[in-house]
Chain A
């Protein structure tokens, strides 16, 4: 049933990249439990605006859990307390009257803060540039049914392809590692016959790029898997490592 709750927010405010930030406290009254978390911030922002204060900057777009644009650490957990849920799909019914909610941006060296809760995740794009594709030009493809792919493999590839590139895995990892993100892409393409020819080269290039971009190593903490809103499995990291070893130079990164 719909209810209204009153809550207190402790929100990280930072004017721009590289300047000092800090927490500020806001009170949000009469928040409907049917609201999404971002709608709750909208309401707070409307009030801040009317009060002549700077509204909280935060990234978002689809508000359906698919674009990967939103994200913040809520009470110490990336995307908040609900499993398998992005911040935009988290609803206020998971909070209670009188709660205090702490909201912080993703924190990782590779994701500098731009303002308040918005961070720069272009490092993810760079990892994809390094090899997250199949080298095929428009125009020359054979008939789509020319290569049958078993349903099981297609489904596994789809599981990995579900990654939305939100960065929660990095934000929740004590080493700020991007292995789950990269592993998901490498796995998706390595599982499919179309992706095999470049599999080793791809793994090598993407892993090297991660190092270069200051993402940390994986020490099997499994926090990424626990916080990933798309429940991407860490078996993808194992598959990435296998591809990487096949490429012949494992020791440098492990």
Chain B
């Protein structure tokens, strides 16, 4: 059975106790340890900087040309913390409880409590770094409320919170580069993990400019490679977001947990054409002031301003009087889909609902609304050529975030000793659904405040036999990577990689998206297998391996998505309940809400790779709730 290594003792004392019990690495010894950090997002950037500050020598890798461009840069809405600056009843316990409940009771109590505990330190540290958070007139920090919470605990920097937090982590990282503690390797893609004598001891990466395959050895590897939402092709993730790093770790023995927990965000700009390359999120903070509605009559094609109040259905406010437009994402998304499936959807395609700011503008004035959301409104107008100050926005759900990821224990270590996984790449804190403004919190908690302690506990007791890149394991990994690249370039088929990716996305969205059923999942699995087979016969990957070859990069990622998608679908199939972002149609309440099966599924599903032609194994980590009572989530 999987051991999460959760410390004993009362919830609120576990982390302190654990920190005391963890072995320490003597300061003078720290510089003898090399740590590889893959990824420079909020998780990777903060981890690399903090580990370097402690004296470890860090090598830090990313795909983009600069660490400052990781996908985290795009976060709009904000970051939560239990500061209770608003005196509105917030506390560590409340943040903990909201996160556990928001995750539909599928996360670990101990991890989530620790997350809530360290949340306050994150804000302190970020302010000290010079992050220009929004402030009140008196000069103190401002807060807003965010989907799924009834207190105002979200800190923000206009609609660019992720940008500012990431640039903060980046600046700390660059300071360590200057100090010689961190060496950066941008424009590198990790393509394999190297395991020697049962310990993870390095990575093999491709230099995306020259095509060279490079080997790097270390004492531990910290993977912070983000989420796999792009398996759906269209998502709000950045274009380079991928599953390759985590999937290849899975193939080397790290268990993959809950791949079917994917989050669909309710407020994105609707799809408008087949050429579309990605979807754009409109921060859910907009739901604080925007009201969601559809026309009451089916097929009402009048322009929104001509539809009188009495003929509008503000369905979230009506159905969930206490949370209204602020219900969690999964609930908001499913309700939007339900309205559109009933034919109430608006816009050219009928797959959109309105998000209306008319009342907020009337109440607060245009200036106040512009100050809060100006850049979002501008972005919306740039994309759609429609002005949200005049006409309501049109929105529709889209894939946005994944709760699933590599399985990790309380120390954030995977099932492979020496491989730590942080940020969106792990599965740890959000259960089956993530609340708004909590991914930033988790990424930074993991990087600034958890890994600096837990990695020491590992290093202090590992087998520290010197390993160099001359070791045969590096040669084998390099050979594997070269073979894979050679195969891709020699298929010479007739269909572009993007075309395969698009089709894969359609399959997943159709059968494994907002709502799922057994027949659809079985069908999806078969379609994915067929598509994968066709890919290896008919994909067209131009160019050479020893070159700046973006087609080859994409081909490698899509090849991994085509394998991983099947795991995602299998996980969805095996979870015979509905919880959070996983909605199985056979398991719903009379009011069409997700219905959990706590008796049989109150566990984490962690998948073990057993070979290309063998079914993966499904392991369980039971979730034990000692401090909260499992209830049916209700936002009424």
Contact = CB atoms under 8 A, between A and B. Distances in A.
18 contacts: A34-B272, A39-B275, A43-B275, A49-B540, A50-B496, A50-B540, A61-B64, A61-B69, A65-B379, A85-B382, A128-B174, A129-B174, A141-B121, A147-B127, A151-B136, A157-B132, A162-B160, A188-B132
Contact of B164 (A16, A118, A161): A161
A155 B158 CA distance: 9
Given A133-B172, A138-B125, A189-B130, A59 B278 contact: no
Given A42-B498, A63-B277, A161-B164, A192 B550 contact: no
Interface stretch (B4-12, B137-145, B512-520): B137-145
A62 B73 contact: yes
Nearest to A132: B171
Interface string A203-221: 0000000000000000000
Nearest to A148: B139
A145 B74 contact: no
A201 B131 CA distance: 20
Interface residues of A, number: 76
A137 B383 CA distance: 40
Contact of B276 (A39, A66, A154, A165): A39
B631 to A, nearest CB: 33
B139 A150 contact: yes
A38 interface: yes
B130 A188 contact: yes
Interface stretch (A119-127, A172-180, A244-252): A119-127
B317 to A, nearest CB: 29
Interface in B230-285: 238-240, 272-273, 275-278, 280
B540 A69 contact: no
A49 B551 contact: yes
A162 B135 CA distance: 16
Given A133-B174, A144-B123, A194-B128, A69 B548 contact: no
Contacts of A54: 542-543
A136 B128 contact: yes
A134 B126 CA distance: 11
B64 A67 contact: yes
A130 B172 CA distance: 12
**A-B residue pairs, 7 tightest by C-beta:** A148-B139, A133-B171, A141-B128, A141-B124, A157-B132, A158-B132, A144-B127
A206 to B, nearest CB: 11
Given A55-B551, A62-B73, 7 more contacts: A36-B277, A36-B383, A55-B550, A89-B383, A115-B548, A133-B175, A150-B137
Interface string B112-131: 00000000010111111111
Contact of B498 (A46, A145, A162): A46
Interface string A83-95: 0010001010100
Interface string B326-349: 000000000000000000000000
B416 to A, nearest CB: 26
B170 interface: yes
Contacts of A89: 379, 382-383
Contacts of B186: 122, 125
B184 interface: yes
Nearest to B280: A64
B592 interface: no
A35 B452 contact: no
Contacts of B178: 129-130
Nearest to A130: B178
Which DSSP category, helix, strand, loop or mixed, fits chain A's interface?
loop
B448 interface: yes
A147 B171 CA distance: 21
Contacts of A142: 124, 128
Contact of A132 (B131, B174, B238): B174
A138 B53 contact: yes
B209 interface: yes
Given A55-B542, A66-B74, A136 B125 contact: yes
B415 interface: no
Given A122-B66, A138-B448, A52 B275 contact: no
Interface string A161-202: 110110000000000000000000000110010110000000
B436 to A, nearest CB: 18
B238 A67 contact: yes
B49 A69 contact: no
Given A39-B277, A67-B238, A59 B171 contact: no
B170 A128 contact: yes
B277 A34 contact: no
A69 B128 contact: no
Given A42-B275, A158-B132, A141 B127 contact: yes
A66 B134 CA distance: 19
B452 to A, nearest CB: 7
Nearest to A166: B69
